[in-house]
Chains A and B, each alone.
Chain A
Amino acid sequence: MSDTIILPGDKLPIDEDIFTVKTTIGPGIYKKPKTQELIPSAAGTLHYERAKSSSQQLIYIESNSKRYIPHTNDYVIGIITGAIGESYKVSLQSNSTPVLLSFWAFPNASKKNRPNLKNGQAVYARVSQDIPEIETELECIDPTSGKEGGFGVLDESGYIFDVHLNFARELLFNPKTIFLETLATRCQFEIAIGINGKIWIKCGNGVKKEANDGSNNNQDQGEDQEMIDVSEENLKDLKSTLAAATFLTRCQFVTQDKLKQELNNAFQGI
């Protein structure tokens, strides 16, 4: 059954004989260590799947929250906050415990060839270890190919903003999500979606840091004109990226029939 709202402590409407039927529990379900009883520990929508052969069942609760708890194989966006020994200290969310990103968690990394990351830089990584009693670890390696696979340092020309965890899951796991398709009708963009509620987005070429020695080029008319063109392109990409971020933030709070209206509001004047 779907669309059932369940509260902590309720009785789960599943096959009671969990020793005969193979049961897989997901988020929101807690198995009492003493009595081996399954109870819901989160409030939300119950999702229950039963295989046709009737020998397995999957059950989990989908609930909306803002605090992220790391799990293995999650894709996350982290911010480098320091270095401890041979690992970087990465913050997945403010006020949360930092996680570790080893120097060897990059493709082709060695003791001589180590990554050079500064504080404040953003990385797209995969959670490789989530034992609750010790610190969580990240990796920037695709586990199947052993290469980058899209992980690594996120470009500084993109913009990072926060969304709800539910919305991040919808954007990442729903291949036909209407939000990104609606946004694609207005502008081209690159996007990285972290399950920890962070989204990195860049429209066009993004925003490059302008050179501070612009005064040296004032003598040449050709270069001066070229610099003006680059600045105008920069400004257009800046506005597009901010508009896309505003649109995605607003998508969390409006119904789907108002997506076009929100898109026009966000991209007004661009």
Chain B
Amino acid sequence: MSKELSLNQKNYLIQALKSNIRLSTSTNTGGSRKFNQFRPIDIKLSNTRYGSVELSLGKTKVMVNITSRITEPYQDRPFEGIMTINCEIPNHIKLQSNDTTNNNNDNEDEFINLINRALDRAIRRSNAVDLENLCIIAGEKVWELIIDLQVLNYDGNLIDSGCLAIITALLDFKKPDVTINNNNTSNSSSTSGGGGNIIVHDDEMKRPFIELSILHIPICLTFSLFNLGSKETNLKTNDIDQEIWLLDGDAMEESCRDGYLIMTMNQNHELIQLSKIGGGGNNGGVSIDGQQLINLCHESIDEINRLTNLVKSTVKNHQLNRYNNENYKLLESSADR
């Protein structure tokens, strides 16, 4: 897909949207997508390690790895573990098209920061993971989760695919079991005292690993907004037909949009994040009617449910396959011996 769009491609995109047609270059089969339709999602989980996910959304491809280590907690939060999300994009991937009017590279850095902030707000700051559960010894030892998101190919909609991949990886991730050995009890005569020693059981055959405590599953939906009329009619009149929103825009649609809306919700019908960002540098982008925005939230519940069930069923099927392949059934107490 060419990142430098000509007037022909922009003209065709706008005219197709006016006729309720999306350009069908994203699907291999004929026919175009609906305005609220996702591209096919393919999730691959690693068989050798926990917390490795490769997610394909059409031609967009992202990879997530979760690693854990034991570290000291922050001074102001001695009872909470630490979770960081790193989003890394290779240099050869151009996120936004080269706008023919301005050639500055600040747009690209701004977009990367925006992806990081959106994912951080959606997952970490919404308490999707119970950080208190990661505490081993208060004030001394806690688990730190490091989530690395690597973009392999870009064809639009990095925020949705990144969020889906991270959530799938968190559901799949398991950390080693830990035993706390309190020195005070066994050596009561010692005056040094101090905290306890911990034993990390990193052999999964002897003691199974422990899943994370996931409190809820946030799902990001990014709507690309188009103003088909002029800017004056958008501000003065309430002609809603001139405003079009697309779900899961690809690279060409992202290059031509006038603004976009990041909406994060979960299956409990809770709104976690709502960010409305301009496309061409103007703050906020296309003006939207408030009632239309609320209707958009309500209409998206079905998609949120579908994606949540997809993530859950993928992780569940993968765990079942791993259970059968590794012959864990023999370890059960009711197994025949």
> Is A94's CB under 8 angstroms from B24's CB?
no
A162: chain B residues within 8 A (beta carbon): 1-2
CB distance from B119 to the nearest CB of A (A): 27
Closest to B20 in A: A235
Known A119-B101, A207-B15, A238-B12; contact A246-B7, beta-carbon cutoff 8 A: no
- Establish whether residues A242 and B23, one from each chain, have CB atoms under 8 Å apart when the complex forms: yes
A157 to B21, CA, bound (A): 17
Contacting residue for B2 out of A94, A238, A243, A269, CB 8 A: A94
Q: Is the interface of B mostly helix, strand, loop or mixed?
A: loop
Q: Which residues of chain A come closer than 8 Å to B77, judged between CB atoms?
A: none
The distance from the CB of A255 to the nearest CB of chain B, in whole angstroms, is: 15
| A79-B230 in contact (CB<8A) | no
Given A120-B6, A246-B25, answer yes or no on A94-B98 (Cβ-Cβ < 8 Å). Answer: yes
Is the C-beta of B4 less than 8 angstroms from some C-beta in chain A? yes
Whether the Cβ atoms of A212 and B229 lie closer than 8 Å is yes
Contact pattern, B 313-324, Cβ under 8 Å of A = 1, otherwise 0: 000000000000
Contact of A242 among B3, B5, B21, B28 (CB under 8 A): B21
Residues of chain A within 8 A of B32, CB atoms compared? 242
B188 within 8 A of A: no
State whether the Cβ of A118 lies closer than 8 Å to any Cβ in chain B: yes
Across-interface contacts of B48 in A (CB, < 8 A): none
Question: B193 on the interface (CB 8 Å rule)?
Answer: no
Please tell me if the beta carbons of A156 and B8 are within 8 angstroms of each other in the complex: yes
- State whether B11 touches A209 (Cβ < 8 A): yes
**Contact (Cβ within 8 A) A94 B4:** yes
B29 within 8 A of A: yes
- Output the least CB separation between B316 and chain A (Å): 34
Contact of B12 among A79, A159, A246, A268 (CB under 8 A): A159
Asked if A235 and B19 sit within 8 Å, CB to CB, the answer is yes
Contact B3 A94 (CB under 8 A): yes
Q: For the complex, give the distance between the alpha carbons of A266 and B2 in Å.
A: 22
Chain B residues with Cβ under 8 A from A80's Cβ?
A: 100
Chain A residues closer than 8 Å to B30, beta-carbon distance: 243, 246, 265-268
Instruction: Assess whether B11 is in contact with A207, with CB atoms less than 8 Å apart.
Output: yes
- Residues A121 and B19 in contact, CB atoms below 8 Å apart: no
CA distance A242 to B15 in the complex (A): 12
Q: Mark A115-159, 1 if CB is under 8 A from B, else 0.
A: 000111110000000000000000000000000000000111111
Q: Are A94 and B100 touching (Cβ within 8 A)?
A: no
Please, how many residues of chain A have a CB less than 8 angstroms from a CB on the other chain? 44
Q: Is B94 interfacial (CB-CB < 8 Å)?
A: yes
Instruction: State how many angstroms separate the Cβ of A179 from the closest Cβ of chain B.
Output: 16
Chain A positions 147 through 184: 1 when the CB is less than 8 Å from some CB of chain B, otherwise 0: 00000001111111110000000000000000000000
Q: How many angstroms between the C-alpha atoms of A155 and B2 in the bound complex? A: 19
A205 within 8 A of B: no
Q: A242 with B4: in contact, given A119-B100, A265-B30, A268-B31 (CB under 8 Å)? A: no
**Of A122, A207, A212, A265, which is within 8 A of B230 by CB?**
A212
**Using Cβ atoms and an 8 Å threshold, which residues of chain B touch A122?**
6-8
B123 → chain A, closest Cβ, in Å?
32
A93 CB–B CB distance under 8 Å: yes
CB distance from B98 to the nearest CB of A (A): 7
Chain B residues with Cβ below 8 Å from A243 are: 30
Contact with B along A63-78 (1 / 0, CB 8 A): 0000000000000000
With A80-B100, A120-B6, A268-B30 already in contact, 12 other A-B pairs whose C-beta atoms are closer than 8 Å: A79-B6, A95-B94, A160-B8, A161-B25, A207-B12, A207-B15, A209-B11, A238-B15, A238-B21, A242-B12, A242-B24, A269-B31
- B positions within 8 Å CB-CB of A: 1-12, 15-16, 18-19, 21, 23-25, 28-32, 92, 94, 98, 100-101, 229-230
4 closest A-B pairs (Cβ-Cβ)?
A: A119-B100, A120-B7, A265-B30, A94-B3
Give me 15 A-to-B residue pairs in the complex whose CB atoms sit less than 8 angstroms apart, sorted by A's number: A81-B100, A95-B94, A120-B7, A120-B10, A122-B7, A154-B8, A156-B8, A159-B9, A159-B12, A161-B25, A207-B12, A238-B19, A238-B21, A246-B24, A246-B30
Interface residue ranges, A against B (CB under 8 Å): 79-82, 91, 93-95, 118-122, 154-162, 198, 200, 207, 209-210, 212, 234-235, 238-239, 241-243, 245-246, 249-250, 265-269
